[in-house]
């Protein structure tokens, strides 16, 4: 196989990707025509190198030693859809809570805000819906801070327990906290004290449950 062939270029792209990543045909059209890319991917599907999730969407298999083959995350699928139109996305509702590990339940319909075209895509048992939104609504889009705000909004004041706040605090980096600080004005009144706690390392004052 010639080192500059389409199949070779696609293989190099896959080698640089990580198990669990979701790739689209759009990611590879720079290597050649749609037909040639589809043929190369079809061969990779037959060998098990990639798994076809939906039309034009492929998954690099990831296996857990404990539970076996894993499915791609909602965020990975939605991000792949967004790349097709060079847009940004922000999970909201159950998808935001799932992305942060606050819920292990995979919603049957996952909603993301986007600055791109609204669209809906069925992938396996899940429907990914991208809803167009304006800049203000998309503040923090594509960051963990943005997901925190939308996850808290989904859980509501009563659902935001000390345990939830502690779980969020444990996964935030300094950059995440800086971004949360900028998003405090975006939250409703009840949420702002929670965001202020999360914005400062060592500022958590919730009691253990």
Other beta carbons within 10 angstroms of residue 168's beta carbon come to 25
Q: What is the pLDDT of residues 25-40, one digit of tens each?
A: 999 999 999 999 999 9
Average pLDDT (71-78) is: 88
Q: Which residues of 45-68 are buried (b: 16+ CB within 10 A; e: fewer)?
A: eeeeebbebbebbbbbeeeeeeee
Radius of gyration of the chain (CA): 19
Pick the more confident residue, 125 or 15: 15
* CATH code that applies to domain 6-64: 1.10.10.10
Domain(s) labelled CATH 1.10.10.10 in the chain stretch across 6-64
Q: How many residues does the chain have?
A: 209
State what percent of residues in the chain have pLDDT above 70: 94
* pLDDT band (50, 70, 90) for residue 22: very high
| pLDDT tier for residue 102 given thresholds of 50, 70 and 90 | very high
pLDDT of 174 strictly over 90? yes
Residue 84 is predicted with a pLDDT of 84
Higher pLDDT pick, 1 / 72: 72
Beta bridge partners, 34, equal: none
């Amino acid at each position: 196989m010639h080192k500059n062939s389409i199949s070779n270029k696609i293989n190099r792209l896959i080698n640089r990707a990580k198990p669990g990543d979701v790739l689209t045909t759009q990611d590879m059209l720079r290597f050649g025509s749609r037909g040639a890319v589809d043929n190369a991917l079809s061969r990779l599907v037959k060998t098990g190198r990639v798994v076809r999730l939906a039309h034009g969407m492929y998954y690099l298999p990831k296996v857990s030693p404990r539970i076996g083959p894993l499915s791609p995350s909602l965020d990975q699928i939605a991000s792949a859809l967004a790349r097709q139109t060079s847009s940004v996305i922000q999970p909201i509702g159950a998808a935001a809570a799932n992305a942060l590990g606050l819920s292990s339940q995979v919603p049957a319909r996952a909603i993301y805000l986007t600055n791109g075209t609204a669209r809906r895509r069925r992938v396996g048992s899940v429907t990914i819906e991208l809803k167009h939104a304006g800049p203000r609504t998309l503040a923090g889009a594509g960051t963990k801070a943005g997901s925190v705000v939308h996850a808290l909004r989904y859980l509501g004041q009563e659902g935001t327990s000390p345990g939830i706040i502690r779980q969020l605090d444990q996964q935030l980096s300094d950059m995440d906290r800086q971004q949360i600080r900028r998003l405090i004005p975006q939250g409703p009144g009840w949420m702002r004290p929670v965001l202020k706690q999360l914005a400062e390392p060592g500022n958590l004052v919730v009691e253990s449950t």
